[in-house]
Every structure is written in C-alpha cells, then in structure tokens.
Structure 1
Amino acid sequence: MAHIIGGIGTSHVPTIGLAYDRKRQHDPAWAPLFEGYKPVAKWLEEQRPDVLVFFYNDHGNSFFFDCYPTFAIGVAPEFDMADEGAGRRPLPAIKGHAKLAEHVANRLVNEEFDMAVFQDRPLDHGCNSPLALLWPHEPAWPGAILPIAINVLQHPLPSAARCYKLGQAVRRAIESFPEDLKVVVVGTGGLSHQIHGERTGFNDTDWDEEFLRLFVEEPDYLKGLTHAELIRRGGAESAEVIMWLAMRGAMDGQIRCLHQNHYLATTTNMAVALYEQVTAPPPQAALDQANAQLLGIEDIPGTYAFDIEHSVKALGLNRFFWRHREPDFRELVRQDIEAAFDAAALTEPERALVRARDWLGLIRYGVSFFVLEKFARVQRMSNLEVYASMRGESLEAFLATRRVPASA
C-alpha cells in the first residue's frame, strides 16, 4: 500500500531556477539559499521516494484566465518543463505516475473535490524551480511527480481550511492505493512577499518565523486565517502559503521539523523545510475501485465509461478528432488523411481504427463520442448513422426502434 514518508515546504521563486541554471550555487549572494536545500536533498537521496506529490500553482504558463481551475491534477505519464518567455529551462522532462494520479483523482472527486484533470501541459517554475534543487536529474529524474495545481492567482482563491481538507483527502487517496509506493508531499510558495502595487517589496520575516512555528504546532490557527489576513501579515502574493496548508493536511496530526532555512535576498523570503510524521490518522484500507460511482458499470452491456485511464491512453487520438474544429485541419483530413495522421503522430493501431471507420472500436479504445462526432461531420455522416453503426444495424433498422422516426 502507498504511504507518505515525509513532507517538504519550499518556495518556488523563479530566480532560484535562474540562479541554478547559471551555476551560481556558490556565489556569496546565493549560497545561503542553496546550502539550505542540501539537507533536504540528502534526505531524499537516502529515502528514495517513488513519487513527489507537488501542491503548486501555475503562473499563467499552462493555464490562463479564460479557464483557470481552482484545483487541477495532472494525470499524464510524463510532464515537460514550460517555456515562460525566455526559453525552456535545460531540465529533462519528468515522469508522471498515471495510475496513482488516476486513483487520487477518482478518490478526490468521490470526496466532492471538483478537480480539473490535465494532461500534456508543461510544469512551470511553481514545480521546476525547487524540483531541480531537491532531486538530481542527469540524465533523468530518480522518480515521478504527481502535480496538483491550486489557484492562488485569481480571487476567489480556495480558503486555507479548504486546502488543508484537500491535503487530508489526498492522504486518504494515497493510503488507499494498493501498490507499494513511498510518497513525499511537497507544498510550494511564499514566504512573505508582494510584487505588485505601491506595497511591492513588502516582507515580514518575524511573521515568517511565526508561520513556520504555527505550521508545526498550531495548524488550526493557520487554517482559520482569511486571505486578507494572510496578505496583511505577509504581503499579497504570500497568500500562496495556502499550498503549504495542503501539504500540512496530507500530514495531518503531529509532525516534527527536521530542517528549515529561509533567506531574504530581494523581494521574497525564500524558505525550505523538511517534516516527518510523529502521530498520524489510522491508515486507509486499500481500494479495488477508487471511483465508487462506477461500481457495477461492467455489468451494463454495450456501455463504456470514458474515464481517466482511457483519456490518458487515447489522448492523441482524441486530439486528432478534436482538431476537426480547425478548418485547415479538416481540409487536410479530406485531402490527405495519412498526412493528418502524421501531423497527429497517431500509432498504427489508432490509424487502422480511423481508416476502417470503426466507430465502436474507437469508443472501446477510449475515444469520447463528443470529439468523434466532429470526424463524422467531415465524413458526411449524421450522428444517427454512427449510432446505427455502433449497434451493428442499418440506419433504417435503427430508426425503426425510435419513438418518432420521422424526427430524423
């Protein structure tokens, strides 16, 4: 059964990554920061966790304000590093743990956390800035990441208490995963800083010290703080410490701080802290089925749930059909479908399903009907003709089963 072996709190200031990439670890201006991470990196090297669960936020690089989720979980088998405007960081892509992510997502939604689920979105400095200081990565990272994004950019933000509850639910999900995995939970952000308005440059290291103490000893107090109170104490952008509270929720109970360091150089008091569990809630029993809402669906003939497992498997094929919204791509499909296959990087089995117009086979493979119908439009087929095909009937035979066939 999977279990949490420790927690890490860390800042995710982008200049940390920039200084790292420029090999400034030993510069007098940066050494206090990098030295503070060494005990945590050593602990990770000794513990050899399989997965780091990262509570982080995206800074408008993979998500934008036209559709910005409150909570989102990454379920892809691999994540790239984002280009934030100055080029992609020289870090390798990192593995995801799709099975654990699927399990956690199912469990969270069943516990009434309305998670957005994402794939194929790169991780920005909210993850990769501290990640490079925690894990060696040449030629590859030693484990996998499970990213959970929390909105701390656009109000209304989730409350500190809600983030804590999210962490508690993540712990229950992890502990009910049947595979034996060692997991570390990571909360990112902060500490005190403000980077907009006339208050830009505000810091309060006394409050940061108090926050770190309360984090261990009195998390209930921190859970009760409003965003305005966090902003008043630590600056506007310091409200992102609610992501530390998500990590604290995943380590519900009594914890011990093994190491902490904070360093204020310019605008942000950059911190890192390592925690272990002293007392914890009773472990969860392993679950055979994380999504209780689908129990028994396998007994319903001719029915196929479009779930995260199928979505991950068929992402490229679903995107192929989704791109039929684009006039140029539709025309490419009409003129040279093999070139369209190449553009979508479809596998040979996926191409064979499309060539055969195997509508039922595509559904069974993991294609959502709501993108598949876009392909039907290009093939000059109605939805009713596709329905009939999936039933193995002619259109006339299918319409004969309808209450008002003439409505077609």
Structure 2
Amino acid sequence: MEHIYLDHAATSPMHPRVIEKMMEVMGQEFGNPSSIHHFGRSARHIIDEARAEMAKSIGASPNEIIFTSGGTEADNHAIFGAADAYRDKGNHIITTEVEHHAVLHACQQLEKQGFTVTYLPVDETGRVSAEAVKNALTDETILVTIMYANNEIGTIQPIKEIGELLADHQALFHTDAVQAYGLQKIDVKELQVDLLSVTAHKLNGPKGIGFLYAHKNVMLSSRLFGGEQERKRRAGTENVPAIAGFLEAIRVAQEEREAKTEQYKSYQQLFVQKLNENEVNFTRNGSLDYSMPHVLNLSFPGTNVEQMLVNLDLAGIAASSGSACTAGSIEPSHVLLAMFGKGDDRLQNSIRFSFGLFNTAEQVEKAALETSKIIKRLT
C-alpha cells in the first residue's frame, strides 16, 4: 500500500540537497566555532555564511539573526526576553486566541508573573483585525505577538497593517512566521516587525534548528546562560551541520517558491474538485482570500475527527486535526474554537490536509478519492 503524506504543516521531509549538505559538513567539520584555530574558523565560516544569507532572505542584517533550537525557542526567547527587558515600561501584552501554543503558553506563564495579556478574538476565517489591535493598545503595552500564518487553517494575518499602526507606539511587534517562511516573501522592514521566529523543519530542513530575528535596537534578556555565543544572546555551542542544512533548505525554498506556491494551489483545487465530483458534503475552514497555499482545512458533517484520522491512516493517508489527542479523546482545536465558538460541529469534524515535497497530483487525487470513500462509509 502506498503511504501518502499530507501533513507537511506539522513537519516536512528533508530535501535531498539538505541531507547531502549535512552529511558533507558532519564528515568534514567538527571544530568548535568559538575556537580560534583552523578547525574552529572553518566551522565559524559556515555559520557566518548562513547568518548572512538568512538575514538577507528577510531584509535584515546578519547581526540581527539569533540561532535557536527551533520555532518554540525562538517564540519563547522573543516573548520572555522582551517582557523581562521592557518590564519597566509596562506590563501589558497583546496576542490572539489562535496562536501556536509556543506563544499562548508563554503568555499564560507571563500572566502568572504579573503581566496582563489581552487575547484578541478572530473572525470566522481565523483573522484578527488591525482595528482590534489598535483598540487593545494602552500606554502599558510593551509587546504585540501575532502569528504571520496559522498552522491549522492557513489564514494569513494583516501583519503589515498591524506593523504600521505600531510604528509610533512603544510596543515591540513579534510575529511567529514558522508556517509562512519559505512560501511567503517576507521583508521585516516592510512589515515593520521587531522580532520574527522561523524554524527549519517546516521548509524541508532539519529539526532542532531555527532562528529569531531581533531588530538591532531591541533589548532581549537571555534565556540560556553559559558561553558568549550569538553575541551573548543565546549560550551554547552552535549546531553547525544543522545550520548548514537549514541554509540549504532556504536556498531551495527561494529557488522554488513561486513554482511551489502554484503547485500547492493546484493541489488544493484538485482535492476539492474530486470531493465535489464524489458529492461529498464539506465546507472549507479559513480564508479564501488570505491563505497559505499548502494548507487545506475541511469540515465533514456527520463525521468525527478520531474516526476520520484512524480511517485515513488505514487507507495510507497521513493528515491531522490540529487537535491534541489524549487518552483516546480529542480535545477541540483552540483555533476552531476561537473561530466558531463552543458547540459548533466543525470543532469535531475538521481535518487538515497540507501539501509539500514529494507530493504528486496523482497522490492528491488518490487521497481525495479515499477520503470520499471513508466519508460515505462513515455517514
């Protein structure tokens, strides 16, 4: 049986070029980048080259890139680091109800430390309004953290509009761009963001490596204590092979971004077309106008998440609900809950299909046909 992976929004397979580059670096480079001898300088050169190209990819300067262990650490460093560094200016933070848990749980922890957090609601497409951000701002607001694109439904937030309204406010602006980077053209100056989080494993790079962009004028308290790596902002010997792999993944993503965007859009259209041809009852969750091309979140009335995921897996199709599975029960997605409210059937019958590397039109068509069969059987 062919296994079809349609869960690229959760994580993605490494690109062959990434694997090749990492194997090369692991075989040839073992020096500590902090060492001044030849071996250390050789490793340092790889890091410096990567930092410069990653900075260029978002319109930043090399000294504004902090390597992290991934998106969670980048989000945490931005939120806790900014909250601690700017606490003398206020204790109010603004975020949304649909953020990744790396942001939501960080904000909840800050509430326990005396900070006030406003969780902005979203509309039925999962989008927050810039006006809502404006209305929530106070003289005590020191940080606004709003994701670029949602990982469950793909909705893109009005980051540029929010950046413009924050231009004359003391609050720092952080965006979790984990789901968007690689498929969206991002310029931190144009967006007017102060902090931006990225991880490699969402764009066919290795797990365990990411970066945080922090504007040169932003102060951040350290989260890790030890050596003086990353200009004393993030202690710990750098993961040179992973950084090299991350850079290669970015190069591939830049080369293929436009083609991949069109390809994934065509996959969405094909999937929906096949469902319609098979007279499947479904609705799309999220925005048609502001959406990532690779994420398709669908609600299937008369089904439930657990049944669907088990049956899809038995049919060789890997998809997800965006929900947490615990002890055989499905917790409603906090994103869908924020969009539709308690009691809505879509909280219990929505599935996320997300496309990426190695997927083909034939696989997408087959997955849609198998999905149709499952739904007809269950309903």
**Shorter-chain-normalised TM-score: which range?**
under 0.3
Q: Between the two structures, name the one with larger relative contact order (CA 8 Å, sep ≥ 6).
A: 2
